[in-house]
Amino acid sequence: MNEIIGKPIDRVDGRLKVTGGARYAAEFQLPNMAYAYLVQSTIAKGRIRSMDVSKAVAVSGVLAVLTHENAPRLKTPPEDKSFESKLGEKDLLPLQRDQIYYDGQHIAVIVADTFERARDAASLIKVEYDPENAVFQMEQALSQAYEAKESFGRKAQSRRGDPDAGFAAASIKCEETYITPIEHHNAMEPHATIANWNGDELTVYDSTQWVLGTRKSIADLLGISAENVRVISPFVGGGFGSKGFMWAHPVIAAMAAKTVGRPVKLVLTRQQMFSATGHRPRTIQKIGLGATREGKFTVVSHRTTTQTSVVEEFLEPSGMSTRVLYDSPAMEVKHLLVRLNTGTPCPMRAPGEASGTFAVESALDELSYKLKIDPIQLRLLNYADKNPQTNQPWSGKNLKQCYERGAAAINWAQRNPEPRSMREGRFLAGYGMATATYPGNRSAASAKVQVLRDGSVIASSCTQDIGTGTYTIMTQIVSEALGIPVARIEFKLGDSKLPKGPVSGGSQTAASVGPAVQAAALSARSKVVKLAIADKDSPLHGRKEDEIVSKNDRLFLADDTSKGETYATILGRSQVPFIEAECQTRVSTREKSGDENTGTKKNEAGAKESGGGCFAATSDENVDREQYSFHSFGAQFAKVQVDPLLGMVRVVKWVSVMDIGRVLNLKTARNQVCGGVIMGLGMALMEETVLDPNRGRIVTRDLANYHVPVHADIPDIDVQFIDNPDPFINPFGGRGVGEIGITGAPAAIANAVYHATGIRIRELPITPDKLISA
């Protein structure tokens, strides 16, 4: 076995990134490029009475000004329940009407021969409104809250057992409310699009987490065939969910390019992104826990009220993880929505799990103090050996090992359980922990592998690399399957002309695209082996395929390594330019009563090639994978120091122990967990989007006012992996790792702050004023 999967090799695209060779969406240079700049509304609700664009049109170099009065008409997109695309705001098509639904809504676009002229012209547009009363604070609309039905196919309301009886039977109860604020993604790369028409064909360079979803959305809105739209996105400078939906700007760029008859580049400013590209919505979560005096749960309830916009329904499913985290005879999860005059929320790293685990894991900590039980012991007492919602066995779960290793690494045994009992110099010291979890998602995907005559390889799939290391791990998968060194393999992605790949969201890319890439590589290898077996001049002539192994560019007999030859020799003698295989994994989903789709998907593989079959075997081809529930788990441990006079909190030590199945690249996996933990620290201590209470306008609209962690805020992060392959998720046993790192992190910090200070903060972020005033 080549054993390249799992190795901490450097990113294969790393040199391109550090030398400027990696081109992001806004960096493509096309001849005769024009530049667009957006104008946004300054009221939260009402109508545009008039818009004076005369001064803007008069600016030298301005090519067009598009508003609702003259923009090309768009088509109403069809209802799509197959999740082949997702518009951020399907009920608000850009530049189509005079109605204003939130502050910061796009109302015009200026196109000019330079960016500076477009921006200057935008400042000259005068808009008069007929304002209406807007509602943009959740508390104003709680009386209109309604029950959500679903979130991406998962039922939003759940109940098992008798929750009322569970509370009645409880000796100890914890019933508290936890609040998380609006938060924004703030990816390093801004949202950007270049649109270029060639007759009826449109090429779009876009910063997107879903190339094919963007292609379909643009085609639907423009009323053209998806085959006439090509979307290119080779590098994405972070998305965290905000680039998984298609917002208004890509189609605005296409409309503008069509109008002026030349390529148009549209890059959103940081301020524009705050209102127009999604956010994590505010949540108010009521947690109810009931337990016996020994600590066994009698009931768990989780009621989330969160916000969406008036032009789209998006649910932050904060209670989803509560359904599966712990064993309880009774459970109730509810999700309610209120509609506000704000921009539409969208997924943000671990949507639902990040906010939900803050609430439920904080509540468990509170209950542990009431019971006088160690927080780890309370979790072990209620450990779920199978999915408590569906009774399915886990495909793999090693959470107890995560607790054990994390506790040892942070020296949990030295923790004095009494709050406010530990000091280090003038600082109060505290320890906190929480459970991390995220579903083991996967979707259908396709991939192609070509072995060229010189023995080099080109592999491809229309997936995306949003900074997670997709280029690298796919290259490792091909290398291990073929026995060809990484340096001789090129992986292509981010182009809608390539074989179909899913959205890079839900931590599913590795688990979805990886099996298709592996299957295509194995199929291509099989074809080359068969060429050698049939060739009388080959030392492998006449041997059986299962007798032949591959390593270091060579195919040779397992029992006699001297008998073999290179890929290049075999292909060169056969006079074929390349050997190619394209494979597709198909995922069928069956809803299981009382549970979401997670854990009820069945992966298969089929052929899409000439001259042979393509099959991606699991570790046991006869296993019915619908029997299993697929989730990753982990343990988060934090040590904090708190200045008792200033209320300043500093995280001084961190340990994350994760069970994500097989680790595909130790370096990139650690990087993903570190990134999640850092976002979790920001969520816990500083991140908060603030709206003007009178106008509904976002006032924290840049990185000077919206605070995110910097290097000085972050301690050394000890990341460990159990690294036990999941035998049922896919052939190589790996689940996704992009989002689990943030889950449980805010709760671990909040719990550590309570241990240090004796002050329980239930509303994020934990800022000094809250500790000082408590």
Summarize pLDDT for 539-575 with one digit per residue, the tens: 999 999 999 999 999 999 999 999 999 999 999 999 8
| C-alpha distances out from residue 403 to 377, 398, 411, 453, Å | 10, 9, 12, 51
pLDDT score recorded for residue 81: 64
Q: How far apart are CA 328 and CA 209, in angstroms?
A: 37
Show Cβ contacts of residue 337 under 8 Å, excluding neighbours closer than 6 positions.
145, 146, 147, 148, 305, 306, 307, 308, 313, 315
pLDDT score recorded for residue 166: 98
Q: How far apart are CA 735 and CA 693, in angstroms?
A: 43
Q: Which amino acid is at 88?
A: G
pLDDT score recorded for residue 571: 97
pLDDT score recorded for residue 112: 99
Q: How far apart are CA 496 and CA 213, in angstroms?
A: 10
- Residue the block writes with tokens 């719990």: 751
Q: How far apart are CA 768 and CA 648, in angstroms?
A: 5
Summarize pLDDT for 326-354 with one digit per residue, the tens: 999 999 999 999 999 999 999 999 999 99
List 89, 332, 688, 739, catalytic entry: 739
pLDDT score recorded for residue 16: 97
Q: Which two tokens stand for residue 436?
A: 């991390």
Q: How far apart are CA 615 and CA 606, in angstroms?
A: 6
Question: Is 353 a known active-site residue?
Answer: no
pLDDT score recorded for residue 82: 63
Task: Please tell me the pTM assigned to this model.
Answer: 0.95
Mutual orientation of helices 666-685 and 353-371 as an angle, nearest 10°? 70
Q: How far apart are CA 703 and CA 68, in angstroms?
A: 31
Q: Domains, the chain, ranges and CATH?
A: 32-133+188-238+243-276 (3.30.365.10), 144-182+280-440+630-773 (3.30.365.10), 441-621 (3.30.365.10)
3-class secondary-structure state, position 482:
helix
pLDDT score recorded for residue 600: 35
pLDDT score recorded for residue 625: 61
pLDDT score recorded for residue 152: 87
pLDDT score recorded for residue 79: 78
Give the containing element (helix H, strand E) for 224: none
All residue ranges of the chain with pLDDT < 70 are 1-2, 80-83, 587-625
pLDDT score recorded for residue 599: 35
Surface-to-core class of residue 758, CB atoms within 10 Å of its CB (0-12 exposed, 13-18 middle, 19+ buried): middle
Q: In the predicted model, what is the mean pLDDT of the chain?
A: 94
- Residue the block writes with tokens 């929320």: 345
